[in-house]
């Protein structure tokens, strides 16, 4: 399991200094069928806007 999860989405409520993610768990889904071929075919469902 990853020790540190990095994220550059600074308008997410889980974003922390140093581009760290403070969420207690991360949920990533495939957005194009059943087998993603690259990162562009995935989405982070953990995202929640700060606003």
On the question of pLDDT at 42 being above 80, the answer is yes
Amino acid 25: pLDDT: 95
CA dist., res. 48 & res. 38, Å (int): 23
Would you state the structure tokens that stand for residue 20, as one six-digit string?
């760290």
Domain ranges of the chain: 1-51
Backbone φ, ψ for residue 21 (5° rounding): -105, 125
Please give the Cα distance from 32 to 14 (Å, whole number).
25
Strand residue runs (E) in 1-51: 15-16, 20-21, 28-30, 42-44
- In the prediction, which pLDDT does 7 show? 96
The per-residue pLDDT for range 7-33, each reduced to its tens digit, is 999 999 999 999 999 999 999 999 988
Does pLDDT of 1 surpass 80? no
The percent of residues above 90 in pLDDT, for the chain, comes to: 82
pTM of the model: 0.81
């Amino acid at each position: 399991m990853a020790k540190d999860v990095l994220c550059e989405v600074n308008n997410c409520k889980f974003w922390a200094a140093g581009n760290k993610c403070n969420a207690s768990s991360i949920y990533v889904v495939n957005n194009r069928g059943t087998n993603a071929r690259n990162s562009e075919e995935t989405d982070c469902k953990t995202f929640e806007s700060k606003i």
